[in-house]
Homo-oligomer: A and B are copies of this chain.
Amino acid sequence: MDKLKLGVLRVLTTDDENILNIHGELLEKYFPEVKTETKCIPDQPNGIYDDESHKIAVPKIISLAKRWQESLDGLIISCAGDPAVEKLKGILSIPVTGAGTPTAAYSLNIGKKVGIIGIGKKAPQSYIEVLGNNLIGYEKPHNVKNTNDLQTKEGKKEIIRSAQKLEEKGGQVIAFACTGLSTAKASLLLKEHVSIPVIDAVFAEGLMMIGMCRYRKVFGGDNL
């Protein structure tokens, strides 16, 4: 069985190979049917964390994706804000996904009342649209402003507090709205502190991308 070759486009600028490749390595660990290659956009060392940082990332993502697609079966924009994804669907000839829509959609497969943890002031738009009335709450860990803040000891304590609030509120499942929570291995951390399932955004983007690649192979067409 040939492995699917997936591009992992990071919106966090780094020249540290260990940090750069962490989503790709997680994807290969979760899904033995894929192999990954990772690249990042330039000049955004704090990633995407608000409207402005989202906006300036979009043309960089599109430019990189266009140059890169030829060697890939599918492209993951590994960010819960799904930056540039809708535009890229009209441009690329391969399946493309962000992390946000897949995570929101997959969480509904696991539980009907979904709580979200993210780093923006409010839940990303795709989560609001996908979850509708099934969204029971959004939490931003205290004092966390960007993806790097999630990796500290203090940041991790606040992630736990956010998850516990969502469980108390009646959540049946927690969905991550930032892939920095995957980098922080927060799913494993939260297993000790909440009793409901936690949907990791890197896990969900990988599963749904496998689905999109397989769908196209079986049913043809490019109207994904």
Contact = CB atoms under 8 A, between A and B. Distances in A.
In the complex, the count of this chain's copies comes to 2
Interface of chain A, helix or strand or loop or mixed?
helix
Contacts of A196: 223
Interface string A108-139: 11101000000000000000011011100000
A214 B31 contact: yes
A68 interface: no
A222 B105 CA distance: 20
A108 B109 CA distance: 11
B191 A221 contact: yes
Nearest to A196: B223
Contact of A130 (B31, B108, B187, B188): B108
A95 to B, nearest CB: 10
Contact of A211 (B1, B106, B221): B106
Interface in A142-201: 187-188, 191, 195-198, 200
Which 5 pairs from chain A and chain B are nearest by CB? A105-B109, A132-B132, A105-B108, A207-B211, A1-B32
Given A130-B134, A197-B224, 19 more contacts: A30-B214, A32-B33, A101-B109, A102-B109, A105-B105, A105-B109, A106-B208, A106-B211, A108-B108, A132-B132, A195-B223, A196-B223, A197-B215, A197-B221, A203-B211, A203-B215, A207-B210, A207-B211, A207-B214
